[in-house]
Structure 1
Amino acid sequence: MLRKFKISIDGKEYLVEMEEIGGVPQAPVAAPTAPAAAPVAEATPTPAPAPAEQTAPTTSSPAGSDAMPSPMPGTILKILVNVGDTVQENQPLMILEAMKMENEIVAGKAGTVTGIHVQQGDMVNPGEPLITIK
Protein backbone atom coordinates (compact mmCIF):
# COMPACT_ATOMS: atom_id res chain seq x y z
CA MET A 1 0.00 0.00 0.00
CA LEU A 2 1.52 3.29 -1.07
CA ARG A 3 1.24 6.12 1.42
CA LYS A 4 2.03 9.77 0.80
CA PHE A 5 3.77 12.02 3.32
CA LYS A 6 4.62 15.70 3.19
CA ILE A 7 8.03 16.36 4.75
CA SER A 8 9.57 19.76 5.53
CA ILE A 9 13.37 20.04 5.55
CA ASP A 10 14.97 23.45 6.12
CA GLY A 11 11.73 25.17 5.10
CA LYS A 12 11.38 23.19 1.84
CA GLU A 13 8.42 20.85 1.48
CA TYR A 14 8.72 17.47 -0.24
CA LEU A 15 5.98 15.01 -1.11
CA VAL A 16 7.25 11.46 -0.48
CA GLU A 17 5.56 8.16 -1.37
CA MET A 18 6.38 5.06 0.68
CA GLU A 19 5.26 1.47 0.37
CA GLU A 20 3.95 -0.17 3.53
CA ILE A 21 5.74 -3.48 4.07
CA GLY A 22 3.27 -6.31 4.54
CA GLY A 23 0.48 -4.38 2.86
CA VAL A 24 -1.23 -5.33 -0.38
CA PRO A 25 1.14 -4.41 -3.25
CA GLN A 26 -0.22 -1.81 -5.65
CA ALA A 27 0.88 -0.62 -9.08
CA PRO A 28 3.51 2.15 -8.88
CA VAL A 29 2.46 5.75 -9.56
CA ALA A 30 3.61 6.95 -12.99
CA ALA A 31 5.16 10.35 -12.17
CA PRO A 32 7.07 11.44 -9.06
CA THR A 33 5.69 14.54 -7.35
CA ALA A 34 8.89 15.71 -5.58
CA PRO A 35 11.06 18.38 -7.27
CA ALA A 36 13.75 16.90 -9.52
CA ALA A 37 16.53 18.91 -7.82
CA ALA A 38 15.62 17.79 -4.32
CA PRO A 39 18.68 17.57 -2.06
CA VAL A 40 17.30 14.42 -0.42
CA ALA A 41 18.67 11.03 -1.52
CA GLU A 42 15.95 8.86 -3.01
CA ALA A 43 15.46 5.50 -1.31
CA THR A 44 15.32 2.43 -3.53
CA PRO A 45 12.07 0.59 -2.75
CA THR A 46 12.30 -3.12 -2.07
CA PRO A 47 10.16 -4.91 -4.66
CA ALA A 48 7.28 -6.76 -3.09
CA PRO A 49 6.82 -10.39 -4.12
CA ALA A 50 4.30 -10.91 -6.88
CA PRO A 51 0.94 -11.77 -5.37
CA ALA A 52 0.41 -15.44 -6.06
CA GLU A 53 -2.88 -17.21 -5.60
CA GLN A 54 -3.36 -16.71 -1.85
CA THR A 55 -4.68 -19.56 0.23
CA ALA A 56 -6.24 -19.15 3.65
CA PRO A 57 -3.89 -19.79 6.58
CA THR A 58 -4.23 -23.13 8.28
CA THR A 59 -6.42 -22.31 11.24
CA SER A 60 -9.26 -23.87 13.14
CA SER A 61 -10.55 -20.55 14.47
CA PRO A 62 -10.25 -16.88 13.49
CA ALA A 63 -7.49 -14.87 15.10
CA GLY A 64 -8.87 -13.49 18.33
CA SER A 65 -7.53 -11.41 21.16
CA ASP A 66 -5.95 -14.55 22.65
CA ALA A 67 -3.58 -15.05 19.68
CA MET A 68 0.15 -14.46 20.22
CA PRO A 69 1.06 -11.16 18.52
CA SER A 70 4.13 -10.59 16.40
CA PRO A 71 6.78 -8.83 18.52
CA MET A 72 8.36 -7.08 15.50
CA PRO A 73 7.97 -6.62 11.75
CA GLY A 74 9.48 -9.35 9.63
CA THR A 75 8.96 -12.38 7.41
CA ILE A 76 7.88 -15.83 8.56
CA LEU A 77 10.72 -18.16 7.48
CA LYS A 78 9.55 -21.43 9.00
CA ILE A 79 6.59 -22.73 11.03
CA LEU A 80 7.73 -25.45 13.42
CA VAL A 81 4.34 -26.67 14.73
CA ASN A 82 0.94 -27.69 13.35
CA VAL A 83 -2.63 -27.15 14.52
CA GLY A 84 -3.38 -29.76 17.18
CA ASP A 85 0.22 -30.06 18.42
CA THR A 86 0.81 -29.93 22.17
CA VAL A 87 3.55 -27.43 23.06
CA GLN A 88 5.50 -26.61 26.21
CA GLU A 89 6.28 -23.13 27.53
CA ASN A 90 9.32 -21.60 25.71
CA GLN A 91 9.13 -24.21 22.91
CA PRO A 92 10.05 -22.68 19.51
CA LEU A 93 6.94 -22.25 17.34
CA MET A 94 8.24 -20.41 14.29
CA ILE A 95 11.21 -18.49 12.90
CA LEU A 96 10.69 -14.78 12.12
CA GLU A 97 13.34 -13.01 10.05
CA ALA A 98 13.77 -9.35 10.95
CA MET A 99 16.66 -7.16 9.79
CA LYS A 100 18.47 -10.22 8.35
CA MET A 101 18.38 -11.98 11.73
CA GLU A 102 16.43 -15.15 12.48
CA ASN A 103 14.36 -14.84 15.66
CA GLU A 104 12.65 -17.77 17.37
CA ILE A 105 9.05 -17.12 18.37
CA VAL A 106 8.46 -19.29 21.43
CA ALA A 107 5.33 -20.42 23.25
CA GLY A 108 4.35 -18.12 26.10
CA LYS A 109 2.50 -20.95 27.81
CA ALA A 110 2.00 -24.71 27.57
CA GLY A 111 -1.06 -25.92 25.71
CA THR A 112 -2.44 -27.05 22.37
CA VAL A 113 -2.04 -25.10 19.11
CA THR A 114 -5.60 -24.23 18.05
CA GLY A 115 -4.79 -21.85 15.20
CA ILE A 116 -1.91 -20.70 13.02
CA HIS A 117 -2.74 -17.34 11.47
CA VAL A 118 0.28 -16.93 9.15
CA GLN A 119 2.00 -18.94 6.45
CA GLN A 120 5.64 -19.40 5.55
CA GLY A 121 6.76 -16.35 3.56
CA ASP A 122 4.15 -13.98 5.04
CA MET A 123 5.31 -10.51 6.05
CA VAL A 124 3.94 -9.45 9.43
CA ASN A 125 3.79 -6.18 11.35
CA PRO A 126 4.11 -5.78 15.12
CA GLY A 127 0.94 -6.85 16.91
CA GLU A 128 -0.44 -9.01 14.10
CA PRO A 129 -1.72 -12.40 15.31
CA LEU A 130 0.66 -15.31 14.70
CA ILE A 131 -0.59 -18.35 16.58
CA THR A 132 -3.22 -19.30 19.16
CA ILE A 133 -2.45 -21.71 22.01
CA LYS A 134 -5.22 -22.87 24.38
Structure 2
Amino acid sequence: MKEYRYKINGNLYKVTVGDIEENQVQVEVNGTPYKVELEKKATPKIKPVMRTASTTPATPPPAVSRPAAPSSKGSIKSPLPGVILDVKVKEGDAVKRGQTLMILEAMKMENDIKSDRDGKVTSIKVSKGESILEGTDLIIIE
Protein backbone atom coordinates (compact mmCIF):
# COMPACT_ATOMS: atom_id res chain seq x y z
CA MET A 1 0.00 0.00 0.00
CA LYS A 2 1.39 3.41 -0.96
CA GLU A 3 0.32 6.73 0.51
CA TYR A 4 0.54 10.10 -1.26
CA ARG A 5 -0.40 13.67 -0.43
CA TYR A 6 -1.60 15.96 -3.21
CA LYS A 7 -2.43 19.63 -3.10
CA ILE A 8 -4.98 20.54 -5.77
CA ASN A 9 -6.38 24.08 -6.03
CA GLY A 10 -5.16 24.74 -2.48
CA ASN A 11 -6.90 21.64 -1.05
CA LEU A 12 -4.87 18.81 0.50
CA TYR A 13 -5.80 15.23 -0.47
CA LYS A 14 -4.47 12.13 1.27
CA VAL A 15 -4.49 9.28 -1.27
CA THR A 16 -3.75 5.65 -0.44
CA VAL A 17 -3.28 3.23 -3.34
CA GLY A 18 -4.02 -0.34 -2.37
CA ASP A 19 -4.29 -3.66 -4.19
CA ILE A 20 -4.04 -3.71 -7.97
CA GLU A 21 -5.77 -6.60 -9.74
CA GLU A 22 -5.63 -6.59 -13.55
CA ASN A 23 -7.00 -3.13 -14.37
CA GLN A 24 -8.81 -2.50 -11.02
CA VAL A 25 -7.17 -0.50 -8.20
CA GLN A 26 -8.39 0.05 -4.65
CA VAL A 27 -7.87 3.78 -3.84
CA GLU A 28 -8.77 5.72 -0.70
CA VAL A 29 -9.08 9.54 -0.88
CA ASN A 30 -9.31 11.29 2.50
CA GLY A 31 -10.74 8.12 4.05
CA THR A 32 -13.32 7.42 1.30
CA PRO A 33 -12.69 4.18 -0.63
CA TYR A 34 -13.04 4.01 -4.44
CA LYS A 35 -12.57 1.30 -7.05
CA VAL A 36 -10.66 2.78 -9.97
CA GLU A 37 -10.56 1.16 -13.39
CA LEU A 38 -7.33 1.77 -15.28
CA GLU A 39 -7.57 2.38 -18.99
CA LYS A 40 -6.00 -0.30 -21.14
CA LYS A 41 -3.81 1.37 -23.75
CA ALA A 42 -4.67 0.33 -27.29
CA THR A 43 -2.16 0.42 -30.10
CA PRO A 44 -3.25 3.16 -32.51
CA LYS A 45 -3.87 1.89 -36.06
CA ILE A 46 -3.88 5.35 -37.60
CA LYS A 47 -1.73 8.40 -37.14
CA PRO A 48 -3.16 10.65 -34.35
CA VAL A 49 -4.56 14.05 -35.33
CA MET A 50 -2.97 17.16 -33.78
CA ARG A 51 -5.30 18.59 -31.13
CA THR A 52 -5.80 22.21 -30.25
CA ALA A 53 -6.19 23.61 -26.73
CA SER A 54 -9.96 23.78 -27.17
CA THR A 55 -10.41 20.01 -27.72
CA THR A 56 -10.45 17.25 -25.15
CA PRO A 57 -7.17 15.61 -24.07
CA ALA A 58 -6.01 12.50 -25.95
CA THR A 59 -5.83 10.30 -22.82
CA PRO A 60 -8.76 10.52 -20.39
CA PRO A 61 -8.10 10.11 -16.66
CA PRO A 62 -8.84 6.76 -14.97
CA ALA A 63 -12.57 6.05 -14.72
CA VAL A 64 -14.08 6.15 -11.23
CA SER A 65 -17.31 4.33 -10.47
CA ARG A 66 -19.89 6.96 -9.59
CA PRO A 67 -23.66 6.86 -9.27
CA ALA A 68 -24.13 10.25 -10.92
CA ALA A 69 -25.96 10.52 -14.22
CA PRO A 70 -24.13 12.07 -17.14
CA SER A 71 -23.73 15.81 -16.80
CA SER A 72 -26.21 18.07 -18.48
CA LYS A 73 -26.19 21.61 -19.79
CA GLY A 74 -26.57 24.23 -17.05
CA SER A 75 -25.36 21.95 -14.29
CA ILE A 76 -23.40 23.03 -11.23
CA LYS A 77 -20.84 20.31 -10.42
CA SER A 78 -19.15 19.35 -7.17
CA PRO A 79 -15.57 20.66 -7.05
CA LEU A 80 -14.59 18.05 -4.41
CA PRO A 81 -15.74 14.72 -3.00
CA GLY A 82 -17.69 15.19 0.22
CA VAL A 83 -21.07 15.21 1.98
CA ILE A 84 -23.96 17.63 1.33
CA LEU A 85 -24.65 19.42 4.63
CA ASP A 86 -27.43 21.74 3.47
CA VAL A 87 -29.38 22.69 0.35
CA LYS A 88 -30.21 26.42 0.40
CA VAL A 89 -32.55 26.53 -2.64
CA LYS A 90 -35.45 24.53 -4.03
CA GLU A 91 -36.68 23.73 -7.51
CA GLY A 92 -38.28 26.75 -9.15
CA ASP A 93 -36.21 29.32 -7.20
CA ALA A 94 -34.66 32.20 -9.12
CA VAL A 95 -30.95 32.50 -8.31
CA LYS A 96 -28.29 35.14 -8.94
CA ARG A 97 -24.66 34.62 -9.85
CA GLY A 98 -22.62 34.17 -6.62
CA GLN A 99 -25.62 33.06 -4.54
CA THR A 100 -24.93 30.12 -2.19
CA LEU A 101 -26.86 27.07 -3.42
CA MET A 102 -25.66 24.44 -0.93
CA ILE A 103 -23.01 23.62 1.66
CA LEU A 104 -20.56 20.78 0.95
CA GLU A 105 -18.38 19.29 3.69
CA ALA A 106 -15.07 18.19 2.23
CA MET A 107 -11.92 17.40 4.23
CA LYS A 108 -13.67 18.51 7.46
CA MET A 109 -14.29 21.99 6.01
CA GLU A 110 -17.57 23.55 4.93
CA ASN A 111 -17.54 24.80 1.34
CA ASP A 112 -20.20 27.10 -0.14
CA ILE A 113 -21.31 25.92 -3.57
CA LYS A 114 -22.32 29.09 -5.41
CA SER A 115 -24.18 29.74 -8.63
CA ASP A 116 -21.98 30.66 -11.59
CA ARG A 117 -24.91 32.26 -13.44
CA ASP A 118 -28.30 33.95 -13.04
CA GLY A 119 -31.23 31.68 -13.73
CA LYS A 120 -33.92 29.38 -12.38
CA VAL A 121 -33.30 26.12 -10.51
CA THR A 122 -34.91 23.43 -12.66
CA SER A 123 -33.57 20.36 -10.85
CA ILE A 124 -31.73 19.46 -7.64
CA LYS A 125 -29.75 16.24 -8.18
CA VAL A 126 -28.53 15.60 -4.59
CA SER A 127 -30.01 15.71 -1.11
CA LYS A 128 -28.87 16.66 2.39
CA GLY A 129 -26.59 13.99 3.91
CA GLU A 130 -25.66 12.44 0.56
CA SER A 131 -22.01 11.51 -0.10
CA ILE A 132 -20.83 12.62 -3.53
CA LEU A 133 -17.74 12.49 -5.73
CA GLU A 134 -15.91 15.29 -7.47
CA GLY A 135 -17.65 16.22 -10.73
CA THR A 136 -21.10 15.03 -9.64
CA ASP A 137 -23.98 17.15 -10.95
CA LEU A 138 -25.54 19.00 -8.00
CA ILE A 139 -28.09 21.45 -9.41
CA ILE A 140 -29.38 22.32 -12.88
CA ILE A 141 -29.90 26.04 -13.55
CA GLU A 142 -31.46 27.31 -16.78
Q: TM-score, normalised by structure 1?
A: 0.56
Partner residue, 2:134: 126
Partner residue, 2:116: 108
State the Cα distance separating 1:94 from its structure 2 match. Answer: 0.1
Please tell me whether Structure 1 or Structure 2 has the larger radius of gyration of its CA atoms.
Answer: 1
Q: 1:77 aligns with which of 61, 80, 85?
A: 85
Q: Relative to structure 1, is the Cα distance of residues 94 and 81 closer, same or farther in structure 2, using a 3 angstrom cutoff?
A: same
Q: 1:5 aligns with which of 12, 15, 19?
A: 19
Q: Relative to structure 1, is the Cα distance of residues 112 and 17 closer, same or farther in structure 2, using a 3 angstrom cutoff?
A: closer
State the Cα distance separating 1:17 from its structure 2 match. Answer: 5.6
Q: Residue deviations 1:51-80, cap 9 Å, x none?
A: xxxxxxxxxxx9624311100011000000
Q: Residue deviations 1:70-113, cap 9 Å, x none?
A: 00011000000000000000000000001111000000000000
Q: TM-score, normalised by structure 2?
A: 0.53
Q: Relative to structure 1, is the Cα distance of residues 120 and 19 closer, same or farther in structure 2, using a 3 angstrom cutoff?
A: same
Q: 1:86 aligns with which of 94, 118, 121?
A: 94
In angstroms, what is the RMSD of aligned CA positions? 2.8
Q: Distance in 2 between matches of 1:74 and 1:81?
A: 19
Structure 2 residue ranges without an equivalent (≥5): 1-17, 35-69
Q: Relative to structure 1, is the Cα distance of residues 109 and 97 closer, same or farther in structure 2, using a 3 angstrom cutoff?
A: same
Q: Which runs of 4+ in 1 moved over 3 A?
A: 16-23
Q: Relative to structure 1, is the Cα distance of residues 102 and 81 closer, same or farther in structure 2, using a 3 angstrom cutoff?
A: same
Q: Distance in 2 between matches of 1:65 and 1:19?
A: 30
Structure 1 residue ranges without an equivalent (≥5): 8-15, 24-61
**Between Structure 1 and Structure 2, how many residues are aligned?**
86
